[in-house]
Amino acid sequence: MDQTPATLAPDAPTLPILIAPHPMLRAKARAIVPADARPVAELVPRMLATMYAAPGIGLAAPQVGVGLRLVVLDLQPEGERRPRVLLNPELIAASRESEPREEGCLSLPNQYADVVRPLAVTVRYQDLAGTRHQIQAEGLLARCLQHEIDHLDGVLFVDHLSALRRNMIMRKLAKEQRGE
């Protein structure tokens, strides 16, 4: 699969983002195999367009109803778009040092909480051409990678909170979704 700017064009139609507690958000996504090349190539531009329109800095395929281990992200340094596409990402190392930082999620709109995560991580993944890569990340990129990889395993950021805090957020989200 080619990873050219045309392939990653963000002017593609957007996809609906699933909102918790949708069951798809709790399912473990399956690994992408070579037979998935065409559907993945068609999905990536739509996921990027959806992420940018939301707006967000990361989006996992399960959030748009697709059970594949696929993540798109773009921290947009200096306001410039620099999309990354990660197929079958896996966390292979994490620092012992961690810190709390506020997180939100496109699948839990308007809900935020401090989540403790490792400061630095190493992630192995494939690009659209199937080439294997490894990235060492820290700061916001490390946090974003951990958050999106969690989605591939059916984990939401609220799962890292106390049961009391998680339940408060989920009740507030449900109330907002009902328009109360």
Catalytic site residues?
Answer: 148
Q: Which of 43, 78, 75 is nearest to 58 (CA)?
A: 75
| 40-45 own/partner pairs: CB under 8 Å, 24+ apart | 40/1, 40/68, 40/70, 40/87, 40/128, 41/1, 41/2, 41/7, 41/128, 43/68, 43/70, 44/7, 44/8, 44/70, 44/72, 44/85, 44/128, 45/7, 45/8, 45/9, 45/10, 45/12
Query: Which helix (H) or strand (E) covers residue 44, if one does?
Result: helix 37-53
Residue 163 has phi, psi (to 5 degrees) of -60, -40
Kindly tell me the sign of the dihedral angle through the C-alpha atoms of 24, 65, 32, 157. Answer: negative
